[in-house]
Chains A and B, each alone.
Chain A
Amino acid sequence: MKRIAAYLTLIMLGIIGLAPFLYLALLSTKRRIEILSQVPPNLSFSWATISKTYTEVLYSQGMLDFTVNSFVVVGAATLLALIIGTPAAYAFSRMKVPGEQNLANTILSMRFMPPLAVAIPIFLMMKSIGLQDTYWGLILPYTAFSLPLIVWILIGFFDEIPREIDEAAVIDGCSHLTILRRIMLPLMLPGLVTAALFGAIFIWNEFLVALYVIDSRSYQTISLGAATLVSAQRPIDWNIAAAVGVVTVIPIFIFSLLVQRYIVRGLTAGAVK
Protein backbone atom coordinates (compact mmCIF):
# COMPACT_ATOMS: atom_id res chain seq x y z
CA MET A 1 0.00 0.00 0.00
CA LYS A 2 2.75 2.39 1.02
CA ARG A 3 4.68 1.35 -2.06
CA ILE A 4 1.75 2.04 -4.35
CA ALA A 5 1.41 5.52 -2.86
CA ALA A 6 5.14 6.09 -3.38
CA TYR A 7 4.93 5.04 -7.03
CA LEU A 8 1.87 7.22 -7.60
CA THR A 9 3.82 10.16 -6.15
CA LEU A 10 6.71 9.37 -8.47
CA ILE A 11 4.42 9.33 -11.50
CA MET A 12 2.79 12.60 -10.37
CA LEU A 13 6.22 14.22 -10.11
CA GLY A 14 7.11 13.05 -13.59
CA ILE A 15 3.87 14.52 -14.92
CA ILE A 16 4.37 17.85 -13.13
CA GLY A 17 7.86 18.10 -14.59
CA LEU A 18 7.07 17.02 -18.12
CA ALA A 19 3.44 17.99 -18.79
CA PRO A 20 4.12 21.70 -19.41
CA PHE A 21 6.60 20.81 -22.16
CA LEU A 22 4.24 18.26 -23.73
CA TYR A 23 1.39 20.78 -23.62
CA LEU A 24 3.56 23.36 -25.36
CA ALA A 25 4.54 20.81 -28.00
CA LEU A 26 0.88 19.85 -28.46
CA LEU A 27 -0.17 23.50 -28.88
CA SER A 28 2.47 23.95 -31.56
CA THR A 29 0.74 21.27 -33.68
CA LYS A 30 -2.63 23.07 -33.68
CA ARG A 31 -4.01 25.87 -35.78
CA ARG A 32 -4.61 29.19 -34.03
CA ILE A 33 -8.36 28.69 -34.09
CA GLU A 34 -8.07 25.14 -32.73
CA ILE A 35 -6.19 26.35 -29.66
CA LEU A 36 -9.16 28.55 -28.80
CA SER A 37 -11.86 26.02 -29.62
CA GLN A 38 -10.39 22.64 -28.56
CA VAL A 39 -10.14 22.64 -24.78
CA PRO A 40 -8.22 20.53 -24.00
CA PRO A 41 -6.46 20.05 -27.33
CA ASN A 42 -7.03 16.55 -28.72
CA LEU A 43 -4.35 14.21 -29.99
CA SER A 44 -5.27 14.15 -33.67
CA PHE A 45 -2.44 15.66 -35.64
CA SER A 46 -2.51 17.27 -39.03
CA TRP A 47 0.85 17.06 -40.71
CA ALA A 48 -0.02 19.99 -42.99
CA THR A 49 -0.68 22.26 -40.00
CA ILE A 50 2.51 21.19 -38.25
CA SER A 51 4.67 21.76 -41.29
CA LYS A 52 3.01 25.12 -42.00
CA THR A 53 3.60 26.39 -38.44
CA TYR A 54 7.16 25.17 -38.22
CA THR A 55 8.04 26.43 -41.70
CA GLU A 56 6.82 29.85 -40.67
CA VAL A 57 8.71 29.77 -37.35
CA LEU A 58 11.96 28.39 -38.74
CA TYR A 59 12.09 30.39 -41.96
CA SER A 60 9.77 33.43 -42.04
CA GLN A 61 10.31 34.24 -38.37
CA GLY A 62 13.99 33.36 -38.67
CA MET A 63 14.34 30.91 -35.79
CA LEU A 64 16.63 28.67 -37.85
CA ASP A 65 19.04 31.56 -38.49
CA PHE A 66 18.78 32.57 -34.84
CA THR A 67 19.72 29.03 -33.81
CA VAL A 68 22.75 29.13 -36.08
CA ASN A 69 23.70 32.53 -34.63
CA SER A 70 23.39 31.15 -31.11
CA PHE A 71 25.64 28.23 -31.94
CA VAL A 72 28.24 30.59 -33.45
CA VAL A 73 28.17 33.06 -30.56
CA VAL A 74 27.90 30.54 -27.72
CA GLY A 75 30.41 28.18 -29.36
CA ALA A 76 33.02 30.89 -29.91
CA ALA A 77 32.53 32.39 -26.45
CA THR A 78 32.78 28.99 -24.77
CA LEU A 79 35.92 28.09 -26.69
CA LEU A 80 37.51 31.42 -25.84
CA ALA A 81 36.56 31.02 -22.17
CA LEU A 82 38.09 27.52 -22.12
CA ILE A 83 41.33 28.77 -23.67
CA ILE A 84 41.61 31.59 -21.13
CA GLY A 85 40.14 29.67 -18.21
CA THR A 86 42.07 26.38 -18.35
CA PRO A 87 45.53 27.81 -17.52
CA ALA A 88 43.94 29.96 -14.80
CA ALA A 89 42.23 26.96 -13.21
CA TYR A 90 45.50 25.01 -13.48
CA ALA A 91 47.34 27.82 -11.67
CA PHE A 92 44.78 27.82 -8.84
CA SER A 93 45.03 24.07 -8.50
CA ARG A 94 48.79 23.53 -8.89
CA MET A 95 50.79 26.75 -8.44
CA LYS A 96 51.41 29.07 -5.53
CA VAL A 97 49.12 31.99 -6.29
CA PRO A 98 49.52 35.02 -4.02
CA GLY A 99 46.20 35.77 -2.30
CA GLU A 100 44.75 32.59 -3.78
CA GLN A 101 41.53 32.37 -1.78
CA ASN A 102 40.55 36.01 -2.26
CA LEU A 103 41.34 35.92 -5.94
CA ALA A 104 39.35 32.72 -6.48
CA ASN A 105 36.40 34.10 -4.51
CA THR A 106 36.47 37.33 -6.50
CA ILE A 107 36.34 35.35 -9.74
CA LEU A 108 33.48 33.18 -8.48
CA SER A 109 31.51 36.16 -7.23
CA MET A 110 31.37 37.40 -10.83
CA ARG A 111 29.12 34.45 -11.58
CA PHE A 112 26.51 36.28 -9.51
CA MET A 113 26.87 39.57 -11.34
CA PRO A 114 23.47 40.80 -12.48
CA PRO A 115 23.52 41.28 -16.28
CA LEU A 116 21.40 44.37 -15.64
CA ALA A 117 24.33 46.10 -13.99
CA VAL A 118 26.60 45.68 -17.00
CA ALA A 119 24.29 45.51 -20.03
CA ILE A 120 24.23 49.26 -20.73
CA PRO A 121 28.00 49.80 -20.22
CA ILE A 122 28.76 46.78 -22.41
CA PHE A 123 26.42 48.15 -25.06
CA LEU A 124 28.17 51.55 -24.94
CA MET A 125 31.60 49.87 -25.02
CA MET A 126 30.71 47.73 -28.04
CA LYS A 127 29.22 50.75 -29.78
CA SER A 128 32.37 52.80 -29.24
CA ILE A 129 34.68 50.11 -30.63
CA GLY A 130 32.37 49.50 -33.57
CA LEU A 131 31.23 46.01 -32.59
CA GLN A 132 27.56 46.90 -32.22
CA ASP A 133 25.43 44.48 -34.23
CA THR A 134 28.19 41.92 -34.86
CA TYR A 135 28.95 38.43 -33.60
CA TRP A 136 31.98 39.76 -31.71
CA GLY A 137 29.80 42.26 -29.90
CA LEU A 138 28.20 39.28 -28.17
CA ILE A 139 31.14 36.86 -28.07
CA LEU A 140 33.37 39.23 -26.07
CA PRO A 141 30.91 39.89 -23.20
CA TYR A 142 29.58 36.32 -23.18
CA THR A 143 33.10 34.98 -22.71
CA ALA A 144 33.35 37.13 -19.59
CA PHE A 145 29.97 35.85 -18.36
CA SER A 146 30.88 32.17 -18.63
CA LEU A 147 34.55 32.49 -17.62
CA PRO A 148 34.03 32.51 -13.81
CA LEU A 149 31.81 29.44 -13.96
CA ILE A 150 34.22 27.60 -16.25
CA VAL A 151 37.25 28.40 -14.07
CA TRP A 152 35.49 27.12 -10.98
CA ILE A 153 34.29 23.88 -12.55
CA LEU A 154 37.80 23.26 -13.94
CA ILE A 155 39.51 23.88 -10.59
CA GLY A 156 37.38 21.08 -9.15
CA PHE A 157 38.40 18.69 -11.91
CA PHE A 158 42.11 19.63 -11.71
CA ASP A 159 42.06 18.99 -7.97
CA GLU A 160 40.84 15.46 -8.59
CA ILE A 161 43.91 14.51 -10.62
CA PRO A 162 46.41 12.95 -8.19
CA ARG A 163 49.36 15.24 -7.50
CA GLU A 164 51.83 12.37 -7.78
CA ILE A 165 51.35 12.45 -11.55
CA ASP A 166 52.61 15.99 -12.05
CA GLU A 167 55.13 15.82 -9.20
CA ALA A 168 56.84 13.04 -11.13
CA ALA A 169 56.80 15.24 -14.21
CA VAL A 170 58.32 18.18 -12.30
CA ILE A 171 61.18 15.94 -11.15
CA ASP A 172 61.70 14.95 -14.76
CA GLY A 173 62.17 18.64 -15.46
CA CYS A 174 58.91 19.35 -17.31
CA SER A 175 57.67 22.93 -17.31
CA HIS A 176 54.14 23.76 -16.19
CA LEU A 177 53.15 24.37 -19.77
CA THR A 178 54.29 20.89 -20.78
CA ILE A 179 52.56 19.33 -17.78
CA LEU A 180 49.33 21.12 -18.62
CA ARG A 181 49.45 20.28 -22.33
CA ARG A 182 50.85 16.78 -22.33
CA ILE A 183 49.68 15.29 -19.06
CA MET A 184 46.72 17.18 -17.66
CA LEU A 185 44.65 18.00 -20.72
CA PRO A 186 44.14 14.39 -21.80
CA LEU A 187 43.06 13.52 -18.25
CA MET A 188 40.81 16.58 -18.10
CA LEU A 189 38.56 15.70 -21.01
CA PRO A 190 35.41 15.05 -18.92
CA GLY A 191 36.13 18.24 -16.96
CA LEU A 192 36.54 20.32 -20.11
CA VAL A 193 33.32 18.94 -21.58
CA THR A 194 31.38 19.58 -18.36
CA ALA A 195 32.75 23.10 -18.03
CA ALA A 196 32.03 23.83 -21.69
CA LEU A 197 28.44 22.57 -21.53
CA PHE A 198 27.56 24.44 -18.35
CA GLY A 199 29.27 27.57 -19.58
CA ALA A 200 27.28 27.22 -22.80
CA ILE A 201 23.92 26.77 -21.04
CA PHE A 202 24.72 29.77 -18.85
CA ILE A 203 25.00 32.07 -21.85
CA TRP A 204 22.58 30.26 -24.18
CA ASN A 205 19.66 31.74 -22.23
CA GLU A 206 21.09 35.27 -22.02
CA PHE A 207 19.18 37.91 -23.92
CA LEU A 208 19.52 41.25 -22.13
CA VAL A 209 22.95 42.15 -23.54
CA ALA A 210 21.80 40.89 -26.93
CA LEU A 211 18.73 43.12 -26.68
CA TYR A 212 21.03 46.15 -26.48
CA VAL A 213 23.91 45.13 -28.72
CA ILE A 214 22.01 43.52 -31.61
CA ASP A 215 19.77 45.63 -33.83
CA SER A 216 19.38 43.69 -37.04
CA ARG A 217 17.65 40.36 -37.40
CA SER A 218 20.69 38.80 -39.03
CA TYR A 219 22.64 38.57 -35.75
CA GLN A 220 19.82 37.79 -33.32
CA THR A 221 20.39 34.82 -31.04
CA ILE A 222 17.75 32.21 -30.30
CA SER A 223 16.85 33.56 -26.86
CA LEU A 224 16.64 37.13 -28.16
CA GLY A 225 14.55 35.92 -31.08
CA ALA A 226 12.26 34.00 -28.73
CA ALA A 227 12.02 37.03 -26.44
CA THR A 228 10.93 39.35 -29.23
CA LEU A 229 8.52 36.82 -30.72
CA VAL A 230 6.75 35.88 -27.51
CA SER A 231 7.13 38.95 -25.32
CA ALA A 232 4.42 39.28 -22.69
CA GLN A 233 3.65 42.86 -23.63
CA ARG A 234 1.57 42.13 -26.71
CA PRO A 235 -1.03 39.57 -27.79
CA ILE A 236 0.57 36.65 -29.55
CA ASP A 237 -0.33 33.87 -31.96
CA TRP A 238 -0.21 30.93 -29.62
CA ASN A 239 0.59 28.26 -32.18
CA ILE A 240 3.60 30.30 -33.33
CA ALA A 241 4.67 31.09 -29.76
CA ALA A 242 4.44 27.40 -28.83
CA ALA A 243 6.53 26.36 -31.83
CA VAL A 244 9.11 29.04 -30.97
CA GLY A 245 9.23 27.56 -27.47
CA VAL A 246 9.73 24.04 -28.82
CA VAL A 247 12.54 25.15 -31.14
CA THR A 248 14.26 26.93 -28.22
CA VAL A 249 13.90 23.98 -25.89
CA ILE A 250 15.19 21.21 -28.18
CA PRO A 251 18.91 22.16 -28.09
CA ILE A 252 18.70 22.45 -24.30
CA PHE A 253 17.13 18.97 -24.06
CA ILE A 254 20.13 17.65 -25.97
CA PHE A 255 22.57 19.56 -23.71
CA SER A 256 20.86 18.16 -20.65
CA LEU A 257 21.25 14.58 -21.83
CA LEU A 258 24.97 15.23 -22.19
CA VAL A 259 25.41 16.74 -18.73
CA GLN A 260 23.28 14.35 -16.65
CA ARG A 261 26.32 12.75 -15.02
CA TYR A 262 27.94 15.98 -13.92
CA ILE A 263 24.83 17.98 -13.14
CA VAL A 264 25.62 18.58 -9.47
CA ARG A 265 29.12 19.86 -10.09
CA GLY A 266 28.06 22.04 -12.94
CA LEU A 267 25.28 23.62 -10.93
CA THR A 268 27.29 24.30 -7.83
CA ALA A 269 30.59 25.20 -9.47
CA GLY A 270 32.75 24.94 -6.41
CA ALA A 271 30.38 23.00 -4.27
CA VAL A 272 29.42 21.99 -0.82
CA LYS A 273 31.86 21.58 1.99
Chain B
Amino acid sequence: MSPAALPISRTLKHSRFDRQQIGVWLFLGPCLLYLAAFAIYPLIYSLSLSFTDLTAADSTGNWIGLTNYRDLLLDPLFWNAATNSAIMVVVSVAIEIVLGTALAMFFSLDLKGSWIVRGILVLPMLITPIVVGVMWRALLNPDWGLVNWAISRIGLTPPNWLGSIEMAMKTLIIVEVWQWTPFVFVIVFARLQALPQEVFEAAQLDSANSFATFRRITLPMLMPAIMFAAVFRAVDAFRSFDLIYGLSYGGPARSTTTLSFFSFQNGFQFQNYGYAAAVAYMMLIILIVGTTILFRYLHLRPGATR
Protein backbone atom coordinates (compact mmCIF):
# COMPACT_ATOMS: atom_id res chain seq x y z
CA MET B 1 0.00 0.00 0.00
CA SER B 2 1.46 3.37 -0.94
CA PRO B 3 1.76 5.99 1.82
CA ALA B 4 -0.59 8.32 -0.03
CA ALA B 5 -3.37 5.78 0.00
CA LEU B 6 -3.33 5.45 3.76
CA PRO B 7 -5.33 8.52 4.81
CA ILE B 8 -7.91 7.82 2.15
CA SER B 9 -8.44 4.29 3.29
CA ARG B 10 -8.71 5.56 6.86
CA THR B 11 -11.40 8.06 5.96
CA LEU B 12 -13.15 5.40 3.96
CA LYS B 13 -13.08 3.08 6.93
CA HIS B 14 -14.30 5.87 9.15
CA SER B 15 -17.25 6.74 6.95
CA ARG B 16 -18.12 3.07 6.54
CA PHE B 17 -18.12 2.75 10.31
CA ASP B 18 -20.49 5.72 10.60
CA ARG B 19 -22.77 4.31 7.97
CA GLN B 20 -22.80 1.01 9.78
CA GLN B 21 -23.81 2.78 12.99
CA ILE B 22 -26.62 4.57 11.21
CA GLY B 23 -27.69 1.22 9.77
CA VAL B 24 -27.85 -0.36 13.21
CA TRP B 25 -30.12 2.38 14.50
CA LEU B 26 -32.31 2.24 11.40
CA PHE B 27 -32.86 -1.46 12.08
CA LEU B 28 -33.23 -1.19 15.84
CA GLY B 29 -34.75 2.27 16.12
CA PRO B 30 -38.40 1.49 15.32
CA CYS B 31 -38.45 -1.32 17.85
CA LEU B 32 -36.83 0.76 20.60
CA LEU B 33 -39.00 3.79 19.90
CA TYR B 34 -42.12 1.68 19.86
CA LEU B 35 -41.30 0.08 23.19
CA ALA B 36 -40.40 3.46 24.63
CA ALA B 37 -43.79 4.86 23.63
CA PHE B 38 -46.04 1.93 24.55
CA ALA B 39 -44.14 0.15 27.33
CA ILE B 40 -41.66 2.49 29.05
CA TYR B 41 -43.82 5.61 28.90
CA PRO B 42 -46.89 3.85 30.39
CA LEU B 43 -44.65 2.53 33.17
CA ILE B 44 -43.43 6.04 33.99
CA TYR B 45 -46.98 7.33 33.69
CA SER B 46 -48.02 4.62 36.11
CA LEU B 47 -45.33 5.67 38.57
CA SER B 48 -46.54 9.27 38.49
CA LEU B 49 -50.15 8.09 38.92
CA SER B 50 -49.09 6.27 42.06
CA PHE B 51 -48.24 9.65 43.60
CA THR B 52 -51.75 11.00 42.97
CA ASP B 53 -55.22 10.36 44.30
CA LEU B 54 -56.69 9.99 40.81
CA THR B 55 -59.97 8.12 40.56
CA ALA B 56 -62.20 7.44 37.56
CA ALA B 57 -64.66 10.03 38.82
CA ASP B 58 -62.28 12.97 38.98
CA SER B 59 -60.20 13.47 35.90
CA THR B 60 -57.17 15.33 37.24
CA GLY B 61 -56.14 13.95 40.61
CA ASN B 62 -53.94 15.73 43.12
CA TRP B 63 -50.30 15.12 43.84
CA ILE B 64 -50.21 13.45 47.24
CA GLY B 65 -46.61 12.28 47.29
CA LEU B 66 -45.95 9.00 49.00
CA THR B 67 -49.34 8.87 50.74
CA ASN B 68 -50.55 5.90 48.65
CA TYR B 69 -47.47 3.93 49.55
CA ARG B 70 -47.80 4.80 53.23
CA ASP B 71 -51.48 3.79 53.19
CA LEU B 72 -50.55 0.62 51.40
CA LEU B 73 -48.03 -0.44 54.00
CA LEU B 74 -50.62 0.21 56.72
CA ASP B 75 -53.40 -1.55 54.83
CA PRO B 76 -54.10 -5.04 56.24
CA LEU B 77 -55.71 -5.94 52.89
CA PHE B 78 -52.39 -5.27 51.14
CA TRP B 79 -50.56 -7.59 53.51
CA ASN B 80 -53.27 -10.19 53.12
CA ALA B 81 -52.81 -10.01 49.34
CA ALA B 82 -49.02 -10.10 49.63
CA THR B 83 -49.21 -13.21 51.83
CA ASN B 84 -51.62 -14.87 49.41
CA SER B 85 -49.31 -14.07 46.48
CA ALA B 86 -46.32 -15.53 48.30
CA ILE B 87 -48.19 -18.73 49.23
CA MET B 88 -49.67 -19.13 45.76
CA VAL B 89 -46.39 -18.57 43.92
CA VAL B 90 -44.11 -20.59 46.19
CA VAL B 91 -46.39 -23.59 46.70
CA SER B 92 -47.63 -23.90 43.12
CA VAL B 93 -44.18 -23.45 41.55
CA ALA B 94 -42.66 -25.99 43.94
CA ILE B 95 -45.33 -28.58 43.06
CA GLU B 96 -45.05 -27.80 39.35
CA ILE B 97 -41.27 -28.33 39.44
CA VAL B 98 -41.54 -31.71 41.17
CA LEU B 99 -44.39 -32.98 38.99
CA GLY B 100 -42.97 -31.50 35.79
CA THR B 101 -39.59 -33.15 36.34
CA ALA B 102 -41.28 -36.45 37.19
CA LEU B 103 -43.31 -36.19 33.98
CA ALA B 104 -40.17 -35.52 31.96
CA MET B 105 -38.53 -38.64 33.42
CA PHE B 106 -41.68 -40.64 32.74
CA PHE B 107 -41.91 -39.52 29.12
CA SER B 108 -38.24 -40.33 28.55
CA LEU B 109 -39.33 -44.00 28.78
CA ASP B 110 -40.59 -43.29 25.28
CA LEU B 111 -43.72 -45.43 25.43
CA LYS B 112 -45.64 -46.05 22.22
CA GLY B 113 -48.21 -43.34 21.65
CA SER B 114 -46.75 -41.04 24.29
CA TRP B 115 -46.47 -38.25 21.70
CA ILE B 116 -50.27 -38.03 21.66
CA VAL B 117 -50.37 -37.47 25.42
CA ARG B 118 -47.55 -34.93 25.13
CA GLY B 119 -49.67 -33.04 22.61
CA ILE B 120 -52.64 -33.11 24.99
CA LEU B 121 -50.53 -31.85 27.88
CA VAL B 122 -49.49 -28.76 25.93
CA LEU B 123 -53.09 -27.59 25.62
CA PRO B 124 -53.87 -26.36 29.15
CA MET B 125 -51.16 -23.70 29.16
CA LEU B 126 -52.32 -22.17 25.90
CA ILE B 127 -55.94 -21.80 27.00
CA THR B 128 -57.37 -18.45 28.12
CA PRO B 129 -56.95 -18.53 31.92
CA ILE B 130 -60.48 -17.23 32.52
CA VAL B 131 -61.87 -20.20 30.61
CA VAL B 132 -59.65 -22.52 32.64
CA GLY B 133 -61.11 -20.98 35.78
CA VAL B 134 -64.69 -21.39 34.57
CA MET B 135 -64.02 -24.95 33.44
CA TRP B 136 -62.79 -25.91 36.89
CA ARG B 137 -65.67 -24.12 38.55
CA ALA B 138 -67.91 -26.47 36.63
CA LEU B 139 -65.82 -29.56 37.45
CA LEU B 140 -65.77 -28.65 41.15
CA ASN B 141 -69.38 -27.50 41.42
CA PRO B 142 -70.71 -28.68 44.81
CA ASP B 143 -74.14 -29.66 43.43
CA TRP B 144 -73.47 -31.29 40.07
CA GLY B 145 -69.72 -31.13 39.31
CA LEU B 146 -68.02 -34.22 37.92
CA VAL B 147 -65.21 -34.27 40.48
CA ASN B 148 -67.53 -34.26 43.49
CA TRP B 149 -69.69 -36.94 41.87
CA ALA B 150 -66.60 -39.14 41.41
CA ILE B 151 -65.41 -38.55 44.98
CA SER B 152 -68.84 -39.36 46.42
CA ARG B 153 -68.99 -42.47 44.21
CA ILE B 154 -65.96 -43.95 45.94
CA GLY B 155 -67.51 -43.19 49.32
CA LEU B 156 -65.60 -40.07 50.38
CA THR B 157 -66.89 -36.64 51.29
CA PRO B 158 -65.74 -34.04 48.75
CA PRO B 159 -64.24 -30.85 50.20
CA ASN B 160 -65.92 -27.49 49.74
CA TRP B 161 -63.47 -26.56 46.98
CA LEU B 162 -64.25 -22.92 46.37
CA GLY B 163 -66.72 -22.19 49.13
CA SER B 164 -64.54 -22.35 52.22
CA ILE B 165 -61.76 -20.00 53.27
CA GLU B 166 -59.42 -22.87 54.20
CA MET B 167 -59.92 -24.70 50.90
CA ALA B 168 -60.12 -21.96 48.24
CA MET B 169 -56.39 -21.21 48.10
CA LYS B 170 -55.61 -24.92 47.85
CA THR B 171 -58.10 -25.23 45.01
CA LEU B 172 -56.54 -22.26 43.22
CA ILE B 173 -53.13 -23.92 43.55
CA ILE B 174 -54.49 -27.24 42.22
CA VAL B 175 -55.88 -25.54 39.12
CA GLU B 176 -52.72 -23.47 38.63
CA VAL B 177 -50.70 -26.70 38.89
CA TRP B 178 -52.99 -28.43 36.37
CA GLN B 179 -52.55 -25.61 33.88
CA TRP B 180 -48.80 -24.99 34.25
CA THR B 181 -47.06 -28.24 35.20
CA PRO B 182 -46.85 -29.01 31.45
CA PHE B 183 -44.72 -25.87 31.01
CA VAL B 184 -42.07 -27.22 33.39
CA PHE B 185 -42.42 -30.63 31.79
CA VAL B 186 -41.87 -29.36 28.24
CA ILE B 187 -38.73 -27.42 29.17
CA VAL B 188 -37.17 -30.09 31.39
CA PHE B 189 -38.03 -32.77 28.83
CA ALA B 190 -36.32 -30.82 26.04
CA ARG B 191 -33.19 -30.58 28.16
CA LEU B 192 -33.37 -34.27 29.05
CA GLN B 193 -33.55 -35.22 25.36
CA ALA B 194 -30.45 -33.14 24.68
CA LEU B 195 -28.30 -34.82 27.34
CA PRO B 196 -25.52 -37.12 26.09
CA GLN B 197 -26.58 -40.76 26.38
CA GLU B 198 -23.05 -42.02 27.17
CA VAL B 199 -23.26 -40.71 30.73
CA PHE B 200 -26.29 -42.87 31.49
CA GLU B 201 -24.75 -45.89 29.83
CA ALA B 202 -21.62 -45.48 31.93
CA ALA B 203 -23.73 -45.27 35.07
CA GLN B 204 -25.52 -48.43 34.07
CA LEU B 205 -22.18 -50.25 33.65
CA ASP B 206 -21.20 -49.14 37.14
CA SER B 207 -24.47 -50.80 38.18
CA ALA B 208 -25.70 -47.67 39.92
CA ASN B 209 -29.38 -48.11 40.84
CA SER B 210 -31.80 -45.93 38.95
CA PHE B 211 -32.61 -43.58 41.82
CA ALA B 212 -28.92 -42.96 42.48
CA THR B 213 -28.39 -42.31 38.77
CA PHE B 214 -31.22 -39.80 38.86
CA ARG B 215 -29.98 -37.98 41.94
CA ARG B 216 -26.27 -37.95 41.20
CA ILE B 217 -26.24 -37.59 37.43
CA THR B 218 -29.54 -36.66 35.82
CA LEU B 219 -30.82 -34.07 38.30
CA PRO B 220 -27.64 -31.94 38.37
CA MET B 221 -27.61 -31.86 34.59
CA LEU B 222 -31.28 -30.87 34.49
CA MET B 223 -30.81 -28.10 37.06
CA PRO B 224 -30.34 -25.20 34.60
CA ALA B 225 -33.60 -26.10 32.84
CA ILE B 226 -35.41 -26.56 36.14
CA MET B 227 -34.20 -23.19 37.45
CA PHE B 228 -35.18 -21.52 34.21
CA ALA B 229 -38.68 -23.00 34.31
CA ALA B 230 -39.04 -22.10 38.00
CA VAL B 231 -38.18 -18.44 37.49
CA PHE B 232 -40.43 -18.10 34.42
CA ARG B 233 -43.29 -19.76 36.27
CA ALA B 234 -42.80 -17.69 39.41
CA VAL B 235 -42.88 -14.41 37.48
CA ASP B 236 -45.92 -15.40 35.44
CA ALA B 237 -47.84 -16.79 38.43
CA PHE B 238 -47.06 -13.61 40.35
CA ARG B 239 -48.29 -11.21 37.69
CA SER B 240 -51.34 -13.09 36.43
CA PHE B 241 -54.78 -12.46 37.81
CA ASP B 242 -57.10 -13.83 35.12
CA LEU B 243 -57.26 -17.38 36.46
CA ILE B 244 -58.49 -15.95 39.78
CA TYR B 245 -60.93 -13.73 37.90
CA GLY B 246 -62.49 -16.82 36.33
CA LEU B 247 -62.18 -19.23 39.25
CA SER B 248 -62.87 -17.51 42.55
CA TYR B 249 -62.88 -13.74 42.01
CA GLY B 250 -60.54 -13.40 44.98
CA GLY B 251 -62.97 -14.93 47.45
CA PRO B 252 -64.32 -16.23 49.68
CA ALA B 253 -63.46 -13.50 52.20
CA ARG B 254 -60.40 -12.42 50.16
CA SER B 255 -58.73 -15.79 50.74
CA THR B 256 -57.61 -15.96 47.09
CA THR B 257 -56.99 -12.23 46.57
CA THR B 258 -53.36 -11.99 45.46
CA LEU B 259 -51.46 -8.74 44.89
CA SER B 260 -52.31 -8.72 41.20
CA PHE B 261 -56.00 -9.33 41.89
CA PHE B 262 -55.91 -6.69 44.64
CA SER B 263 -54.47 -4.16 42.19
CA PHE B 264 -57.09 -5.15 39.60
CA GLN B 265 -59.91 -4.66 42.10
CA ASN B 266 -58.65 -1.25 43.17
CA GLY B 267 -58.23 -0.13 39.60
CA PHE B 268 -61.25 -1.56 37.88
CA GLN B 269 -63.86 -2.29 40.49
CA PHE B 270 -63.22 0.59 42.92
CA GLN B 271 -61.72 2.81 40.17
CA ASN B 272 -59.06 4.00 42.55
CA TYR B 273 -56.40 4.59 39.90
CA GLY B 274 -53.71 6.11 42.11
CA TYR B 275 -53.91 3.39 44.73
CA ALA B 276 -54.02 0.62 42.11
CA ALA B 277 -50.92 2.10 40.47
CA ALA B 278 -49.11 2.06 43.82
CA VAL B 279 -49.95 -1.64 44.29
CA ALA B 280 -48.80 -2.36 40.74
CA TYR B 281 -45.54 -0.53 41.40
CA MET B 282 -44.88 -2.53 44.54
CA MET B 283 -45.31 -5.63 42.37
CA LEU B 284 -43.04 -4.19 39.73
CA ILE B 285 -40.27 -3.63 42.27
CA ILE B 286 -40.56 -7.26 43.36
CA LEU B 287 -40.53 -8.31 39.68
CA ILE B 288 -37.48 -6.21 38.83
CA VAL B 289 -35.59 -7.84 41.69
CA GLY B 290 -36.81 -11.20 40.40
CA THR B 291 -35.81 -10.70 36.78
CA THR B 292 -32.45 -9.25 37.80
CA ILE B 293 -31.79 -12.52 39.61
CA LEU B 294 -33.01 -14.33 36.48
CA PHE B 295 -30.40 -12.64 34.32
CA ARG B 296 -27.67 -12.94 36.94
CA TYR B 297 -28.01 -16.68 37.46
CA LEU B 298 -29.39 -18.02 34.22
CA HIS B 299 -26.99 -16.39 31.76
CA LEU B 300 -29.57 -15.83 29.08
CA ARG B 301 -28.10 -15.00 25.72
CA PRO B 302 -30.00 -13.79 22.75
CA GLY B 303 -30.35 -16.83 20.56
CA ALA B 304 -28.81 -19.32 22.94
CA THR B 305 -31.41 -21.77 21.76
CA ARG B 306 -29.12 -24.71 21.11
Contacts and interface: CB of A to CB of B under 8 A. Distances in A.
B187 A148 contact: no
Contacts of A124: 45
Q: Is the interface of B mostly helix, strand, loop or mixed?
A: helix
B151 to A, nearest CB: 12
Interface residues of A, number: 104
A272 B144 contact: no
Given A88-B28, A95-B23, A143-B34, A272 B39 contact: no
Interface string A1-29: 00000110110011011111101100100
Contact of B302 (A35, A92, A249): A92
B13 to A, nearest CB: 14
Contacts of A256: 119, 122-123, 126
A252 B121 contact: no
A161 B215 CA distance: 37
A242 interface: yes
Interface of A: 6-7, 9-10, 13-14, 16-21, 23-24, 27, 35-36, 39-40, 84-85, 87-88, 90-93, 95-98, 100-101, 103-105, 107-110, 112-122, 124-125, 140-141, 143-144, 147-148, 151-152, 155-156, 158-160, 175-176, 201, 204-205, 207-208, 211-212, 222-223, 226-227, 230-233, 238, 241-242, 244-245, 248-249, 252-253, 255-256, 260, 263-265, 267-268, 270-273
15 contacts: A10-B114, A13-B120, A14-B116, A116-B283, A118-B43, A160-B303, A205-B127, A212-B268, A223-B130, A231-B249, A232-B246, A242-B138, A249-B128, A256-B119, A270-B300
Interface of B: 20, 23-24, 26-28, 30-32, 34-35, 37-39, 41-43, 45-46, 49, 103, 106, 109, 111, 113-114, 116-117, 119-131, 133-139, 143-144, 146, 149, 178, 182-183, 186-187, 190-191, 224-225, 228, 232, 235-236, 238-239, 241-242, 245-249, 260, 263-264, 267-268, 273, 276-277, 279-281, 283-284, 287, 290-291, 295, 298-306
